[in-house]
Structure 1
Amino acid sequence: MYNVHAQSELGSLTCALRRNVAERPDHLAIWTSGRSLSYREFEDLARRFAVGLLASGVERGDRVAIALPNGIEATIAIYGVLLAGGAFVPLNPTIKADKLAAILANCAASALIGTASIADMLAPAMTAQPGLRVIVTGNEVPGNMLSFDRLLEQDGAIGPAPLAVDLAAIIYTSGSTGVPKGVTMTHQNMVFASSSISTYLRMTADDRILSVLPLSFDYGLYQLLLCVHVGASLFLEPGIGFPGTLVRTITTHGITGLPGVPTLFQVLLSLPALDEYDWSALRFLTNTGAALHRSTIQALRTLMPDASLYAMYGQTECKRVCYLPPAEIDRKPDSVGIAIPGTEVWIEDDTGRRVAPGEVGELMVRGPHVMQGYWNDPERSAKRLRPGRWPWERILATGDLFRQDAEGFLYFVGRSDEIIKSRGEKVSPREVEDRLLEAPGVLDVAVVGVPHTILGDAVWAHVSPRPGISLDARGLQQFCQARLESHLVPYKIVIHEQLPKTPNGKIDKRALAAT
């Protein structure tokens, strides 16, 4: 019999969830330290939550903000919103009141899902949007808000599944101005990205992925989407506050995939007696956000010889751009690789001309993963989305500077808004950071430009030491002078006990530039 309902969900994120229920209902879907769900249980709870959302007045096409920490509730909320035909807006649960109010107003959210603590900061948002529904997890729910658990008690029909062209998510990302931009992604965008990434990672339903990355961060969010896409199991941890627990989880629960950022891998490698554990189940590691230092790469490969290491580069505006095949890591350790399957990349100069191998220019991206634009911001959308080969197509201008070698491998040079102009020369922070990371005892480096009356911008390097090491700024200056061109040598080197980090684990250069 012709199944209209099944046909209607082709290409949507909810299709994979329902397929898993049909093919592997009792397979582990989500695991946290206190709870686990099979795919049957996960889909049932997400569907019930969708029914509850619709009963509360949320309508198909509405935007629903989710400000929850890593956990079962967050995953249910994400897929519940999708099953209800809405678009989810993932937010960091530590978001501040002014930013929360601005984002909720910008996307005209009809509902916000958060913990009880978020109620304390809702006054500005409620003033701007008096009809905003607030859904709270936990036992204590203020009288003017809805209970997450009560919504889960609902049951009934949820209507037709979303289409591939429907809006699935708005993911807010800070730009160079610090004003959040809402990246709009359709189901098709996110399904394609999940398919392409899972293809080059060779993911299957047998994989067990451990993620400490926030679900509000697109790198963390896609761990959930990837696992559901292939029917794998996702182990969620709230962060890296207890690295010893992570080691035990990896080695005792048969974890096969570990996505991370440099901070995570450095913390893990700093622990004692790691060689006493069995790492043989770990099949792959992924890294993005910032490059891993060569010493970190070597240490990981020594400790986990059976795990393939994928260096990657991406932007929220298209999720993933490129990856370095693990077999090339020795031959091209500084490269971020080639375009992900099903996409095309190239480099252009300021005139729009494709540059020759070795020349630096702006990276351009073409493929079904490119965003639809920034929500309610046509001006900034037009700057990033350029006309493509076909009248209906748009190409993503990343704003990042790259070069490409004769074999087509890409090399990140710097973000165009981070390039420092000092003494009439252009300075790539990445080039200075890479050299300083080679200095003995250096753990983290961030290079920023500071206005200077004579130099234009002065190159400042902020450095933190490895545990138990004392660094000397003058010694590091001499180290740089011996290895860098004069205009690249930092004007000043500042030693910190630790460099400030964003909630996503990246070094917070904006905070350093403000000091």
Structure 2
Amino acid sequence: MRVEEFLRESARKHGRKEALITNSRRLTYDELDDLSERMAWSLAQNGVGRDDRVVIFMENIWEAVVSIFAALKVGATFSPINATTKTDKLAYILQNCRAKAVITQSKLSGVAAAAVEMSPTVELTVVAGDGENKLPFALSFSDCVSHRFSAPLRHGGIDMDLAMLIYTSGSTGRPKGVMMTHRNMEAAATSISTYIQNVSSDIILNVLPIAFDYGLYQLIMSIKLGATLVLEKSFAFPQAIFAVMRREHVTGLPLVPTMAALILQMKDLVPGSFPDLRYITNTAAALPPSHIAQLRKLFPDVRIYSMYGLTECKRCTYLPPEKLDVKPDSVGIAIPNTEAFVVDDDGKKVPSGVIGELVIRGPHVMQGYWEDDEATRKALRPGPHPWERVLYTGDLFRADEDGYLYFVGRKDDIIKTRGEKVAPKEVEAVIHACPGVIEAVVVGVHDPILGQALHAIVVAQSETLTEQSIIRHCAAHLEDYMVPKSVVFRMELPKTDTGKVSRRLAAETLEQVQ
């Protein structure tokens, strides 16, 4: 099934039910289906058609949701871009994918205008909002959705067409466009909603950017199931979000480790604060076991899913909540209809306990990187059968005797110090267990004697925590060569646009001050 049919089918089944709740507007399934159909007709009348690329450069607003489904209904491929993206990066993406249209909002129109000026393939721009529009000749979003149509668009596309081109965060080098077909997206959405046990009565809160695939799939899964999505712009004001959760009777909360750290700092939260909450999910980076333990105390009746994934296949593994006590530092087993296994440098499966690269086999694996054959060949390689390619994740893992997987680190993240290899995640897990630590990142910095020296950057709850207390804690729990040489304290850790802690930016920060 094509992704736009999720909306059409849910509108047929749940027409009067609320599909989307935002600060500015609440939309039923009938209304969302109708608005996206009107926008699709406007796009079609202005030259956008099957296989064209439509870039959606917006915050988490209802117009962005309408735009995603409008692009799909016209047969195009949508590309969601984070609202914090700057001109140069946006211009690169527009040029790279040869975008035909850009849909944005007035507050972002200055950045969009500068990027579009450098992108000759863009023929159509649409701007939402009442603020000043800096894009010349742009269509008004409100005018586009006022368009009348006689029947739903029929573009002739099939589920093997590209549905989405989603760009990686670009933490190293230029961002790469991950190609996902409708079939890829349906497989991912079906698998995830199966093990989370989502139902149409779910009310899911999403504060993550829908330009970030974790946030985007909250929308896709919600629409597919006929559930309700509460869409917020950020988690910057947790108390306001908590009020929304109570008011809207939220049942599902997707979070990332930085959100978990903020929640655990809230002094007025007590068990039972959110009586309707049924589950919490985490991905982007692994939750430290100490954070999982604290969340379980705060949400004793809530199922907590620790997960692992990457943009190239959306999701790889999940830890069944009933295994949290037994294997708290594991990211679990392969998601339904997926195989995950660990291989050596020659691509051969390794025994349990041996560290190697994680490989993913499944219908949700990307088609490759947009017009980047070299990067595609590196990531997608021959699989167990002659007819397939499987995804080499670039992540180091080990499996235990029960087949449960443990994230060790990125291949590129391994730090070589004193002739030994150190996975920074292992050191970070120990630091997170030190009382008073909120967040931590460990990096390697060039050292003429050690090769690379380990340094930690820490966000602490109070000023009573010292460098020496953390180093003593590490020395008590780690081998000598794994103990950081120094610990510095910061108010926050450097992060990517998607909210992940950036080890590269952290290392650059330390190198600048040394």
Match of 1:51 in 2: 41
- The correspondence for 1:108, drawn from 74, 98, 101, is 98
Poorly superposed stretches of 4+, deviation over 4 Å: none
Q: Percent of aligned pairs with the same residue?
A: 46
2:138 corresponds to = 145
Paired position in structure 2 for 1:411: 406
In structure 2, how many angstroms separate the alpha carbons of the residues matched to 1:18 and 1:124? 34
Matches within 5 A, 1:325-364: 325-364=320-359
Displacement of 1:277 after TM fit?
A: 5.8
CA distance in 1, matches of 2:38, 2:86: 30
**Measured at CA, do residues 304 and 224 of structure 1 come closer, stay the same or move farther in structure 2, by a change above 3 Å?**
same
Q: How does 1:39-438 map to 2 (within 5 A)?
A: 39-121=29-111, 122-129=113-120, 131-139=122-130, 140-141=132-133, 142-156=135-149, 157=151, 158-160=153-155, 162-175=157-170, 177-275=172-270, 278-438=273-433
Please state how far the C-alpha of 1:295 moved relative to its aligned partner.
Answer: 3.2
- CA distance in structure 2 between the aligned counterparts of 1:116 and 1:383, rounded to whole angstroms: 40
Give how far 1:276 is off: 7.9
Local SS of the residue matching 2:477: coil
The residue aligned with 2:469 is: 475
CA contact (8 A) 1:471 1:495 kept: no
CA contact (8 A) 1:251 1:277 kept: no
2:500 matches 1:506: yes
Whole-Å separation in 1 of the counterparts to 2:24 and 2:109: 25
- The structure-2 alpha-carbon separation of the partners of 1:235 and 1:161, relative to structure 1 and needing over 3 Å to count, comes to farther
Per the TM alignment, residue 473 of structure 1 is displaced from its structure 2 partner at its CA by 1.1
Question: Could you tell me whether the CA contact under 8 Å between 1:214 and 1:221 is conserved in 2?
Answer: yes
3-state SS of paired residue (1:47): helix
1:262 deviates by 1.5
Deviation of 1:253 after TM superposition, in Å, equals 1.6
In the TM superposition, residue 472 of structure 1 has moved relative to its aligned partner by 1.2
Question: SS in structure 2 opposite 1:309?
Answer: strand
Q: Tell me by how many angstroms 1:254 deviates.
A: 1.2
Shift of 1:299: 2.5
Q: Secondary structure at the match of 1:417?
A: helix
The match for 1:4 is none
The 2-side partners of 1:480 and 1:306 are apart by 33
**Which is further off, 173-182 or 52-61?**
173-182
CA contact under 8 A between 1:83 and 1:162: conserved in structure 2?
A: no
What are the Cα deviations for residues 261-281 of structure 1, in whole angstroms up to 9, with x where unaligned? 111122223223222864221
Query: SS in structure 1 opposite 2:413?
Result: coil
CA contact (8 A) 1:14 1:161 kept: no
TM-fit CA distance, 1:165: 0.1
Question: 1:236-292 CA distances to partner (integer Å, 9 max, x unpaired)?
Answer: 111012211111122232111000011112222322322286422111000011222
> Which amino acid is 1:513 matched to?
A
Residues 57/160 of structure 1: CA separation in 2 closer, same or farther (3 Å cut): closer
Do the aligned partners of 2:21 and 2:27 also contact (CA within 8 Å) in 1? Answer: yes
Alpha-carbon distance, 1:500 to partner: 2.2
1:373, 1:462 → 2: CA distance?
Answer: 35
Kept after mapping to 2: 8 A contact 1:47/1:83: yes
CA, structure 1 residues 358+52, in 2 after alignment: closer, same or farther (shift >3 Å)? Answer: same
8 Å contact 1:436–1:445 — kept in the other structure?
yes
Give the match for residue 512 of structure 2.
none
| Aligned CA distance change for structure 1 residues 69 and 124 (closer, same or farther; 3 Å) | closer
| AA at the equivalent of 1:226 | M
Shift of 1:303: 2.3
- Which moves more between the two structures, 417-426 or 499-508? 499-508
What is the SS of the residue equivalent to 1:225?
Answer: helix
Output the amino acid matched with 1:493.
V
Write out per-residue CA displacement over residues 62-107 of structure 1, whole angstroms, 9 at most, x where no aligned residue: 0111111001011101111111111111101111111011111000
**Structure 2 gaps, min length 5:** 510-514
Query: Which TM-score applies when normalising by structure 2?
Result: 0.95
Task: Please give the secondary structure, in 1, of the residue aligned with 2:438.
Answer: strand
CA contact (8 A) 2:289 2:429 kept: no
Deviation at 1:15, TM superposition (A): 1.7
Structure 1's unaligned 5+ residue stretches are 1-10
Which whole-Å CA distance do the structure 2 matches of 1:252 and 1:299 have between them? 25
Deviations 1:367-419 (A, max 9, x none): 00000000010010000000124444210000000000111100000000111
Q: Distance in 2 between matches of 1:378 and 1:437?
A: 40
Would you say the 8 A contact 1:105–1:125 is kept in 2? no
Pair 1:490-2:480 in alignment = no
- 8 Å CA contact 2:21, 2:228 repeated in 1: yes
Distance 1:130 1:399, change over 3 A: closer
Shift of 1:38: 0.7
Match of 1:442 among 437, 445, 448: 437
Equivalent residue letter for 1:132: E
Deviation at 1:487, TM superposition (A): 1.3
Q: CA RMSD in A?
A: 1.5
Larger deviation, residues 391-400 vs 274-283: 274-283
Moved more, 497-506 or 473-482: 497-506
Q: In structure 2, what is the Cα distance between the partners aligned to 1:110 and 1:135?
A: 12
Residue 497 of structure 2: SS of its match in structure 1? coil
Equivalent pair of 1:420/1:449 in contact (CA under 8 Å): yes
Q: Normalising to structure 1: TM-score of the pair?
A: 0.95
Shift of 1:49: 0.7
- For residues 90 and 224 of structure 2, the distance between their equivalents in structure 1, rounded to whole angstroms, comes to 30
Contact 2:72–2:163 (CA<8 Å) still a contact in 1?
Answer: yes
Quote how far apart the aligned CAs of 1:57 are: 1.3
**Which has the larger displacement, 452-461 or 195-204?**
452-461
Residues 211-249 of structure 1: CA deviation (Å, up to 9, x unaligned)? 100001010000000101111100011101221111112
* Structure 1 contact 464–495 (Cα < 8 Å) conserved: yes
How big is each residue's C-alpha offset from its partner over 1:311-362, in whole Å with a ceiling of 9 and x where there is no partner? 0000100000000000000000000000000011110001111100000000
Measure the CA separation in 2 of the matches of 1:40 and 1:507. 39
Q: 1:283 to 1:124 in 2, by over 3 A?
A: closer
Deviations 1:461-497 (A, max 9, x none): 111101x343211221222112111111112211112
Instruction: Single out whichever of 303-312 and 451-460 deviates more from structure 2.
Output: 451-460
Question: Helix, strand or coil: the match of 1:450?
Answer: strand
